Chain A
Amino acid sequence: AQSVTQPDIHITVSEGASLELRCNYSYGATPYLFWYVQSPGQGLQLLLKYFSGDTLVQGIKGFEAEFKRSQSSFNLRKPSVHWSDAAEYFCAVASGGGADGLTFGKGTHLIIQP
C-alpha cells in the first residue's frame, strides 16, 4: 500500500527566508504526487502536482517541488516566504490509472515569524 511521510510536524520560518518542506513516499510504481495547502477555515487548495517528465515542477504562489526517485522524495520549496504562507501543508500520493482517492501525509504546520 502506498504511504506518505512528512517528517516535520511544525516548521517555523522568518518572513523573507527560504522554505523547504519534506515529503517521502512509498509506492511501488511511478507515483502521482501532489502538494496541497490548507489555511485556517479553508478547504484544501492544490499547489502543484507531478505525474511525469521534468522532475522540477512549478506551482501557484511561488512554490516549486522536486521529484527525486532515488530518495523517494517530493520536497516543496519557496525562495522567500510571506506571512500569508502560514498554513498546513499536505503532501499526497495517488496510484496510477485507478479511480481512487489520495493518500495524504500527516501535514506540516508552517509558522511565519515576523
Chain B
Amino acid sequence: GAGVSQSPSNKVTEKGKDVELRCDPISGHTALYWYRQSLGQGLEFLIYFQGNSAPDKSGLPSDRFSAERTGGSVSTLTIQRTQQEDSAVYLCASSLGAATSTDTQYFGPGTRLTVL
C-alpha cells in the first residue's frame, strides 16, 4: 500500500513568512511523529501524536512551531515568522499501534524547507 507522504516536497520562503507542512500517514496508523533533519543538528525529534492528541510538545524548537492532527490522519506542522535557522528537511513518520517504542516508524520522503 501507499507509504507516508509529505507535501510539498520543497518549499522556499522568505524570512518572516509562515509555512505549513503536511503529512499523510499510512492508512490505519494511529501514531504520527515529526522530526527535523539539519546539517548542524542531525535528526531531531519534534513532536508525536497518538490519535489527534500530542501529549508532549516540549520537543518543538520554539513557540513559533505548532502542529495539529485531525481525524486521526493528516497532520500539519506550522512554522510562523520563519527564520533562516528553520531551514532543514522536515520528516514525518507513522507507526501502526499505540505509540510504544517497539513499533516500527515508517518515514516519509520529507519536505525540504529553505528560508531566504
Q: Is the CB of A90 within 8 A of B43?
A: yes
**How many residues of B are in contact with the other chain, CB < 8 A?**
28
| A residues in contact with B3, CB < 8 Å | 43
Tell whether A106 is near chain B: CB-to-CB under 8 Å: yes
**Chain A residue at minimal CB-CB distance from B99:** A99
List the one stretch of A16-24, A44-52, A79-87 in contact with chain B.
A44-52
Tell whether B71 is near chain A: CB-to-CB under 8 Å: no
State which of A51, A97, A102, A105 has its C-beta within 8 Å of the C-beta of B105.
A102
**Chain A residue at minimal CB-CB distance from B9:** A41
> How many residues of A sit at the interface, in one of the four size bands?
20 to 34
Q: Is the CB of A49 within 8 A of B45?
A: no
List the one stretch of B13-21, B61-69, B78-86, B106-114 in contact with chain A.
B106-114
Known: A99-B50, A100-B45. A44 touches B104 (CB 8 A): no
Q: Is the CB of B109 within 8 A of A102?
A: no
Q: Is the CB of A49 within 8 A of B104?
A: yes
List A53-77 residues whose CB lies under 8 Å from chain B: none
**Bound form: Cα–Cα A99–B45 in Å:** 12
State which of A44, A103, A106 has its C-beta within 8 Å of the C-beta of B107.
A44
Tell whether B59 is near chain A: CB-to-CB under 8 Å: yes
Q: Is the CB of A43 within 8 A of B110?
A: yes
| A residues in contact with B100, CB < 8 Å | 97-99
List B38-52 residues whose CB lies under 8 Å from chain A: 42-43, 45-46, 48, 50
Tell whether B70 is near chain A: CB-to-CB under 8 Å: no
B interface residues, Cβ below 8 angstroms from A: 3-4, 31, 33, 35, 42-43, 45-46, 48, 50, 55-56, 59, 91, 93, 98-102, 104-110
A interface residues, Cβ below 8 angstroms from B: 32, 36, 41-46, 49, 51, 90, 92, 94-107
